[in-house]
Amino acid sequence: MSELSSSLLRRLQADDDRVVFFDERWQYGAQLRRDVTNAQAALTRLGVGSGDRIMLVDENSYAFIVGYLAILLCGACVVPVNPHMPAPELIKVAGRSQAAGAVAGRDVLRTVFTDPGLRDVNLRFVAELGVGPDGVFLAGTGGADGPPGGSSPAAELGAGIGEDAGALLLFTSGTTGAPKGVQLTHRQVMATVHNVIGAHNLTERDITYLFLPLFHINAEVIGLLATLVSGGKLIVEKKFSASRFWPVIQKHGVTWVSAVPTVIGILIKAATYSPAPRHLRFVRSASAPLPSLQGRRFEAMFNVPVIESYGMTEAASQICVNPVPPAARRHGSVGRPYGVDLKVVGSAGRTLEANEIGEIAIRGDSVIREYASGDASGNGFVDGWFMTGDIGCVDPDGFVYITGRSKEMINRAGQKISPREVEEVIARDPDVRTVAVIGLPDDLYGERVVAYVVPEDAAVRRQETGFKERLRQLCAKSISAYKCPVEYHVVDEIPLGPTGKIQRTRLREQVLAVSGAN
């Protein structure tokens, strides 16, 4: 049995007085164990076996956590999916993941899963996940014949799961627009769980406030799994709320929070509470760059440390992290590598010295060795090192600084967006000749998605407002909301290379030069 499985089982078998708080109700240890066991039995009756990939599609909820743990402890691989993903995008994920089935909340089943295109994906079953009078239920159609009703003993959970078994499969878009499958094993996920617990000194006395989306690697590994394995308690919200943030911290004695720069910026603007309760040890910032001034302002306003970190899906979330007090941390730095090897590489492949800027490369027990089957497994790996595409340097004391990205990915509040994917949607409009999508600086989200479009003829110029609205509607129904451009500019030309390739970097430089931004 994998270490991750055995650690989670120990937590399920412990009669903690309280484990997960959601929707104004504590879910006790015995109840969590019973619900996970029943969900696992339902999955078994649906024919779920070792190595199967199961899509999990729902909002943050206690039921999501039960479904997540049940899939993991069946020996299957969780494929977390954004519940707001439009049907065409979800169909692509279902196909690329080769999912055996899907577990989804009722609202998602009534909307996205009614799309006729899902019939071609060959899912063996689609199951509803929810909460009833007797606890969490998982009921589906399809699947293999299994044992009659009732639940399997808890001891069967996790049986026969090896360290190299797939635990999570997530997709991260590349600049080519083709999503890359990142399958993390039980060993890799547990390595990061250990790193998070060690870096943040987590114990059973800690209480975590989790409001980041559970379909994202940050919330899953940093918030959920690290808390459960360390024996701590969870306060779960459907989504972030500035008005609820400080009252929840105070009411439940929250000791640490995993956040993103956008959340920190919103709390600064709201400024509804000062200082923070003394039991709040720190706020962790990840998923996108945190402006140094913003971190300092937050600390000055609320008297609570901000712990900046750096991670990516390919490393099961965490790569670097600043030390927690009383150890010294550095504003503007993402901290030191924790549990991974890190180096900075020059253009010729030479390992650079301190303060020299180059591409960051990593390796370690938490880092994937290749992308999932069919996803260009050789891309991004050199002599056992994963080339992150991030540009930065390491100071003489080992603190890492990220200065930019070599890839053209757009980072909106920690959500990585492929320009090519958005461009392909906009290009469907018959009046679009050329389109380029870039990320521009944004005070709240880090970057905002902006589209520049060259129309087929001048007549479109005279109906520019209607044209832009048509493009907005096209994107809204085709891709997730966070990927949709917030601005559309109709222009006469877009910079192209000698072979006609769109030069997004050059376009961005031109826009920033005109606007005076940096």
What structural domains does the chain harbor? 3-143+160-186 (3.40.50.980), 240-405 (3.40.50.12780), 410-515 (3.30.300.30)
Predicted confidence at residue 517, as pLDDT, reads: 59
CA distance 516 to 518: 7
Q: How far is CA 279 from CA 2, 208, 253, 275, 322, in A?
A: 34, 12, 6, 11, 20
Structure tokens given for 220: 């899953």
CB 222 within 8 A of CB 37: no
- Phi first, then psi: give them for residue 232, nearest 5 degrees: -80, -175
Query: For each successive 10 residues of the chain (518 residues), what is the average pLDDT?
Result: 95 83 87 93 93 96 96 97 91 92 92 82 91 87 45 59 96 64 97 98 97 95 97 95 95 96 90 87 91 90 96 96 95 96 93 95 96 65 92 95 80 86 90 92 94 90 91 95 96 79 87 78
Predicted confidence at residue 175, as pLDDT, reads: 44
Predicted confidence at residue 467, as pLDDT, reads: 95
Among candidate residues 485, 478, 334, the one with its CA nearest the CA of residue 402: 334
Q: Which residues, in sequence order, are CB contacts of 357 under 8 Å at separation 6+? A: 344, 391, 392, 393, 403
Among candidate residues 427, 426, 407, 404, the one with its CA nearest the CA of residue 417: 407
Give the pairing type, strands 135-142 and 166-173: unpaired
Task: Kindly provide the residue ranges of all beta strands, DSSP E only, lying in 277-431, ordered along the sequence.
Answer: 282-285, 306-312, 317-321, 336-337, 341-345, 358-363, 381-382, 385-394, 400-405, 410-412, 415-417
Structure tokens given for 14: 């412990």
Q: Which residues, in sequence order, are CB contacts of 125 under 8 Å at separation 6+? A: 46, 47, 100, 101, 102, 140, 141, 142, 143
CA distance 518 to 513: 8
Q: List, in sequence order, every residue forming a beta bridge with 183; answer none if it has no partner.
A: 169
Dihedral sign, Cα of residue 259, residue 262, residue 265, residue 267:
negative
Predicted confidence at residue 142, as pLDDT, reads: 62
CA distance 310 to 330: 13
Predicted confidence at residue 500, as pLDDT, reads: 63
CA distance 124 to 205: 42
CA distance 253 to 206: 9
Predicted confidence at residue 154, as pLDDT, reads: 38
pTM of the predicted structure, to 2 decimals: 0.85
Give the pairing type, strands 233-236 and 207-210: parallel
Q: Which residues, in sequence order, are CB contacts of 246 under 8 Å at separation 6+? A: 272, 273, 276
First to last CA, the chain: 51
